[in-house]
Amino acid sequence: MNCHANKSIECTVSQCAYHCSDANFCSLDRILVGTHEANPTQDQCTDCMSFRKK
Ligand code: SF4
């Protein structure tokens, strides 16, 4: 698989089209992180908005 792992972005979401399946890194140059909460209080409140289904 030809995946350019961005060593600055670790990720374990293997279901994402941008995930390097042989290593836990994202292949994008940059990602957008957001939230689905009005008032985020913990890590579970944040989301990778760059996620795309494989
Ligand atoms: S786009 Fe987001 S969810 Fe997908 S591999 Fe990159 S960091 Fe992970």
Domain residue ranges in the chain = 6-48
Say if pTM beats, i.e. exceeds, 0.85.
Answer: yes
User: What is the secondary structure of 12-46 as a DSSP string?
Assistant: --TTBTTEETTTTEE-SS---EEESSSS--SGGGE
Report the alpha-carbon distance of residue 43 to residue 54 in Å, rounded.
24
Atom of ligand 1 nearest to the CA of 52: 4
- Is any ligand 1 atom within 6 A of the Cβ of residue 48? yes
Q: Give 28 Cα–ligand 1 centroid separation in angstroms.
A: 8
- Is any ligand 1 atom within 6 A of the Cβ of residue 31? yes
> pLDDT truncated to tens, each residue of the chain (54 aa)?
579 999 999 999 999 999 998 899 999 999 999 999 999 999 999 999 999 999
- Is any ligand 1 atom within 6 A of the Cβ of residue 18? yes
Residue 1 has a pLDDT of 54
